[in-house]
């Protein structure tokens, strides 16, 4: 029993560390009553910041132990205490709805209550399945869990492992955000046991849905986000792929939250959202190379829109610098130990090399379109996202936000096509084995657009109806 429950102590500490960081940057107010609402975002923030810090410490030779993990958590709590002291006292609020007679509770309370019941049942059923589900997928074991096994048995990055020709086929250059996270749970358990791993992956989905609802709470009414987030959580491409133990869906979740935070900054200029975006995009980039590509796409689009609107591009530049600095330790360590990837990036910048391989472009585009449009796996998330983006662009409601989501989606998709274009792998095999996973990033960028813009459109429609009724009255 202790072996089963101890790893959840790691999750609790990650949530506490994440909550402290959110308090420090001001995303969560000082009022303790609001902390529960932010718990999902807190967990994912902790799952972003703590492995980033541990990766940096590993790169400089610090020991990877539960004690080191505890020190990192304590540092995060100290940062949170500092943020607590410097933050402004939140203004007093009206009497909470639960202190009023239940007949006077707002309708949105009932919507949230129904959502909690339905999603809670879904989460418990999923956890029950994940509790005994073995790790059977090839890449989940060979690329991610194998590195976690090394970090479970050793307190450092074993150069012989990463430089070994015997393991060259497991993408040793891939960042170690997820292996570090996995190894923390294995160490807390006291043994390397993959059957106990997927139950913690399931927490990513629960926390992600919770986090999106919290981030957009001031822009999107529960009547909008509740059904859309239920649709996303129930999509087999989301929960099914998450329970393979691959890193693609966690990476896509970090990208999605970073996209929402950037969109909120573009919409209101709130630097606190920009700080959160830097954290999430750094975690995405430290999870997979595709996460780095998506992070660059999001930051470039946000920069172009901010420059065109006369916003504080310097502020965005600082956030981009923080993102880059957070992922540098791993990149420096791999370069210092001559650990190279299989993606010929420099060749991919050579026009002659690209022109010789143009026959790879259209099949890559077709594969991404086919996988992204698979309604059996992703339900109707992308078609619905396309509709609301089009409605926002045509109506002018949230046009800046819609432009950001659309351009980010297209630039990230173009980056994925480029990666297939320059890859040295046989194209048909490469597309068959990866396109269905890579599109998770695009799907969740689409989900961010769908939820965010649907809320803005409904708010605009409601205001228009109220104004029309006032004129007629």
3-state secondary structure 242-271: HCCCCCHHHHHHHHHHHHHHHHHHHHHCCH
- From first CA to last CA, the distance across the chain in angstroms is 66
Token duo for residue 309:
């609107």
Q: At a CB cut-off of 8 Å and minimum separation 6, what does 319 contact?
A: 274, 275, 277, 278, 299
pLDDT in the model for residue 97 = 47
Contact between 65 and 5 under an 8 Å Cβ cutoff? The reply is: no
Most confident of 90-94, 253-257, 359-363, 367-371: 253-257
Report CA Rg, the chain.
22
* Cα–Cα distance measured from residue 262 to residue 302, given in angstroms and rounded to the nearest whole number: 7
pLDDT digits (tens, 9 = 90+) for 333-372: 998 988 887 777 888 888 898 998 999 999 999 999 999 9
Pick from 200-204, 280-284, 345-349, 419-423: least confident: 345-349
Q: At a CB cut-off of 8 Å and minimum separation 6, what does 141 contact?
A: 135, 194, 245
* Cα–Cα distance measured from residue 255 to residue 294, given in angstroms and rounded to the nearest whole number: 7
CA proximity to 156, closest of 60, 284, 247? 60
User: b or e along 373-395 (b: 16 or more beta carbons within 10 Å of the residue's beta carbon)?
Assistant: ebeebbbebbebbbebbebbeee
pLDDT digits (tens, 9 = 90+) for 160-185: 887 777 776 677 889 999 999 999 99
pLDDT digits (tens, 9 = 90+) for 411-466: 999 999 999 999 888 999 999 988 899 999 999 999 999 999 999 999 888 877 77
* Cα–Cα distance measured from residue 204 to residue 247, given in angstroms and rounded to the nearest whole number: 11
pLDDT digits (tens, 9 = 90+) for 104-155: 556 777 788 889 999 999 999 999 999 988 888 888 888 888 999 999 999 9
* Cα–Cα distance measured from residue 262 to residue 279, given in angstroms and rounded to the nearest whole number: 11
What are the structural domain ranges in the chain?
2-83+112-472
Pick from 134-138, 254-258, 279-283, 291-295: least confident: 134-138
* Cα–Cα distance measured from residue 351 to residue 412, given in angstroms and rounded to the nearest whole number: 20
């Amino acid at each position: 029993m202790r072996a089963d429950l101890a790893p959840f102590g790691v999750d609790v500490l990650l949530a506490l560390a994440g909550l402290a960081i959110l308090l420090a940057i001001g995303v969560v107010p000082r009022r303790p009553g609001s902390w529960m609402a932010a718990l999902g975002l807190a967990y994912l923030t902790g799952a972003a910041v703590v492995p980033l810090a541990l990766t940096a410490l590993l790169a400089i030779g610090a020991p990877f132990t539960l004690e080191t993990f505890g020190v990192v958590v304590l540092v995060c709590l100290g940062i949170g205490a500092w943020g607590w002291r410097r933050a402004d006292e939140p203004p007093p609020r009206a009497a909470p709805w639960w202190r009023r007679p239940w007949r006077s509770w707002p309708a949105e309370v009932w919507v949230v209550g129904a959502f909690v019941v339905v999603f809670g049942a879904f989460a418990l059923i999923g956890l029950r399945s994940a509790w005994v589900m073995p790790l059977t997928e090839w890449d989940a074991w060979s690329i991610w869990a194998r590195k976690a096994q090394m970090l479970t048995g050793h307190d450092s990055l074993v150069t012989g492992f990463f430089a070994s020709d015997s393991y060259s086929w497991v993408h040793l250059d891939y960042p170690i955000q997820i292996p570090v996270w996995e190894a923390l749970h294995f160490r807390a358990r006291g043994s390397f046991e993959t059957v106990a791993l997927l139950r913690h992956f399931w927490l990513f989905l629960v926390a992600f849905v919770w986090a999106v609802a919290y981030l957009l709470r001031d822009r999107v009414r529960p009547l909008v986000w509740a059904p859309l987030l239920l649709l996303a959580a129930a999509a087999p491409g989301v929960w099914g792929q998450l329970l393979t133990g691959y890193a693609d869906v966690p990476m896509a979740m970090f990208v999605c939250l970073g996209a929402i935070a950037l969109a909120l900054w573009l919409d209101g200029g709130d630097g606190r959202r920009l700080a959160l975006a830097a954290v999430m995009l750094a975690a995405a980039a430290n999870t997979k190379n595709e996460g780095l590509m998506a992070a660059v796409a999001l930051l470039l689009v946000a920069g172009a829109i901010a420059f065109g609107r006369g916003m504080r591009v310097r502020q965005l530049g600082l956030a981009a610098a923080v993102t880059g600095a957070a992922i540098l330790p791993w990149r420096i360590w791999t370069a210092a130990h001559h650990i190279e990837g299989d993606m010929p990036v420099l060749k991919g910048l050579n026009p002659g090399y690209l022109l010789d391989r143009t026959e790879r472009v259209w099949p890559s585009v077709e594969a991404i379109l086919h996988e992204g449009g698979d309604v059996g796996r992703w339900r109707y998330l992308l078609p619905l996202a396309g509709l609301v983006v089009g409605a926002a662009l045509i109506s002018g409601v949230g046009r800046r936000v819609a432009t950001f989501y659309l351009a980010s989606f297209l630039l990230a998709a173009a980056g994925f096509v480029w990666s297939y274009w320059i890859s040295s792998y046989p194209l048909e095999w490469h597309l068959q084995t990866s396109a269905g996973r890579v599109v998770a990033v695009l799907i969740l960028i689409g989900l961010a657009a769908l939820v965010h813009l649907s809320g803005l459109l409904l708010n605009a429609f409601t205001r228009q109806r109220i104004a029309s009724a006032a004129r007629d009255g």
